[in-house]
C-alpha cells in the first residue's frame, strides 16, 4: 500500500493525468471546426468564428488569477472539469449563437486545465527534474491528441452526432476521478501566487529580458503552427472532397508523430536543444511552404502535412525548457503568468491572420503562411544559448 501511495505521488503519475485533462478537448478538436464549417460554409467565416471565441477565451484567462485567489488551483481544476462537460452540451446544438457560446466555454476549460495543472507541476516536480518530466507530460498528452481527433469525427459519422459529446462528458469526469486518486489537494500557495501570475503586472519586466522574450516567441510559433494544423487540416480535407473521418484521421496521424518526443528530447540533451530547435523550425517551415504548391492534389498535400507534423514534433522535445532555463529561480512564479500568454496569442493570431488571407487566397495558403513564421522563428532560434540542455 505504501508503494502504491508513493507511485501516485510521483512526477510520472502527475504526467499521466495530462492524458485525461486533454481528452475532452482532443475529442472535439476536429469535430468543432467541421461543425462550424457545416453551419457557415466557408473557411474564412470559420476563421472569424474562432477569432471571436478565442478573444473571449483570452478574457477568461485574464480572469483566472482572480479565480485562483478565490478558489485556488483545486477549485480552478474542478471548474475546468465543469466547463469541459458543459461546453460539450452547448457545442452539440445547431444554433450558431449557442454553438459560439460553447466554443468560448470550451476554450476557457482548456485554459483552466492548463493553468491549474502548471501550478501542480511547479509544486510537485523539482526544478532539476523538469527536463525529464516535460517529455513524459507531452507523451501522455499526445496519446489523447493522437486518438481524439479521429475518434470524435468517426463516432459522430458512424454512431450519431451526440456520441462524441457524451464521451467528452465522461472523459471530463475521468479527469476528476484521477485527480482525486492522485491525492492532489492544493498546489502550494496558489492563492498568494495568483496575484503575481497576473501578466499585466510583470509584462514589461518579462519582455525586457531577451532570453525570456525569445523563449516566449519560440513557444508561440510552435503552438500557433499546431493550432493551424488542428483547425484547418480537417476543413481542407472536406473542401478537397475527402470525408470528415479522413480529415480527423489526418490530424490524429499528424499528432501521433509526437510519440517521438522522448527520442527528440534525448537528442536535445546529447547535442543541444539549440540545434534541435533551429532544425525543427526550419524543416517544419520548409515543408509547410510546399503544401500550397500541391493544393489541388489532396493526397500529396496530406502527405506533406503529416511530414510537417513530424518535423514539428521535434520541437515538442524542447517543451518549455527554453523558458525554464531562462527564468531566474526567484522569478519563476511571477514570470509564469506572462509566459503563459503565448497560449492566448496562439489562439488569436492564426484565425485573425487567416481571416484576412482567405479574402484573397485559397485555403492551402494558410499552411504556407504558417511555414513563413516557422522559418522566421528558426532564424531567431540562433540566439538560444549554445549549451542549452
Give the whole-angstrom CA distance, residue 7 versus residue 12: 8
Q: Are 225 and 369 in contact (CB under 8 A)?
A: no
Cell output for 147: 486518438
CA-wise closest residue to 56 among 109, 116, 113, 119? 109
Q: Is 85 helix (H, G, I), strand (E, B) or coil?
A: helix
Residue-range domains of the chain with CATH? 10-383 (1.20.1250.20)
DSSP assignment of 265-301: HHHHHHH-HHHHHHHHHHHHHHHHHHGGGGTT-HHHH
Q: Are 152 and 165 in contact (CB under 8 A)?
A: no
Give the whole-angstrom CA distance, residue 210 versus residue 42: 40
Q: Are 261 and 138 in contact (CB under 8 A)?
A: yes
Provide the residue-wise pLDDT of the chain in tens; the chain has 389 residues.
555 455 555 667 788 888 899 898 889 988 889 888 888 888 888 888 888 888 887 777 777 777 877 888 888 899 999 999 999 999 988 888 899 999 899 888 888 888 888 788 777 777 667 667 777 787 888 888 888 888 988 998 888 888 999 999 999 999 999 888 888 776 555 545 555 556 666 777 778 788 888 888 988 999 999 989 988 999 998 888 888 888 888 988 988 888 877 777 777 777 777 888 888 899 999 999 999 988 788 889 899 999 999 999 888 777 677 777 777 766 666 677 677 778 778 888 888 888 888 888 888 899 999 999 999 999 988 887 766 55
Amino acid at each position: 500500500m505504501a508503494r502504491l501511495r508513493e507511485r501516485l505521488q510521483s512526477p510520472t503519475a502527475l504526467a499521466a493525468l495530462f492524458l485525461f485533462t486533454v481528452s475532452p478537448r482532443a475529442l472535439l478538436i476536429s469535430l468543432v471546426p467541421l461543425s462550424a464549417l457545416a453551419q457557415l460554409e466557408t473557411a474564412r467565416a470559420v476563421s472569424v468564428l474562432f477569432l471571436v471565441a478565442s478573444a473571449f477565451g483570452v478574457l477568461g484567462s485574464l480572469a483566472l488569477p482572480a479565480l485562483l485567489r478565490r478558489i485556488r488551483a483545486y477549485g480552478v481544476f474542478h471548474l475546468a472539469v465543469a466547463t469541459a462537460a458543459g461546453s460539450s452540451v452547448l457545442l452539440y446544438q445547431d444554433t450558431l449563437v449557442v454553438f459560439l457560446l460553447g466554443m468560448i466555454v470550451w476554450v476557457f476549460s482548456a485554459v483552466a486545465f492548463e493553468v491549474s495543472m502548471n501550478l501542480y507541476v511547479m509544486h510537485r516536480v523539482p526544478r532539476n527534474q523538469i527536463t525529464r518530466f516535460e517529455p513524459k507530460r507531452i507523451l501522455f498528452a499526445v496519446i489523447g491528441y493522437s486518438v481524439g481527433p479521429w475518434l470524435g469525427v468517426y463516432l459522430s459519422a458512424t454512431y450519431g452526432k451526440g456520441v462524441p459529446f457524451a464521451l467528452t462528458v465522461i472523459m471530463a469526469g475521468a479527469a476528476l476521478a484521477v485527480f482525486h486518486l492522485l491525492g492532489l489537494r492544493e498546489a502550494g500557495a496558489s492563492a498568494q501566487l495568483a496575484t503575481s501570475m497576473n501578466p499585466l503586472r510583470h509584462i514589461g519586466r518579462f519582455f525586457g529580458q531577451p532570453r525570456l522574450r525569445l523563449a516566449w516567441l519560440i513557444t508561440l510559433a510552435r503552438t500557433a503552427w499546431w493550432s493551424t494544423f488542428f483547425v484547418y487540416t480537417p476543413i481542407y480535407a472536406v473542401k478537397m472532397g475527402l470525408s470528415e473521418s479522413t480529415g480527423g484521421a489526418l490530424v490524429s496521424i499528424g499528432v501521433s508523430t509526437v510519440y517521438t518526443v522522448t527520442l527528440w528530447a534525448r537528442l536535445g540533451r546529447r547535442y543541444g536543444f539549440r540545434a534541435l530547435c533551429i532544425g525543427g523550425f526550419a524543416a517544419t517551415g520548409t515543408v509547410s511552404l510546399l503544401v500550397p504548391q500541391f493544393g489541388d492534389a489532396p493526397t500529396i498535400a496530406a502527405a506533406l502535412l503529416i511530414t510537417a507534423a513530424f518535423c514539428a514534433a521535434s520541437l515538442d522535445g524542447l517543451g518549455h525548457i527554453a523558458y525554464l532555463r531562462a527564468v531566474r529561480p526567484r522569478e519563476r512564479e511571477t514570470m509564469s503568468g506572462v509566459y503563459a500568454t503565448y497560449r492566448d496569442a496562439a489562439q488569436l493570431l492564426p484565425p485573425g491572420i487567416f481571416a484576412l488571407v482567405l479574402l484573397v487566397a485559397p485555403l492551402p495558403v494558410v499552411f504556407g503562411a504558417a511555414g513563413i513564421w516557422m522559418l522566421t522563428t528558426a532564424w531567431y532560434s540562433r540566439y538560444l544559448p549554445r549549451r542549452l540542455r
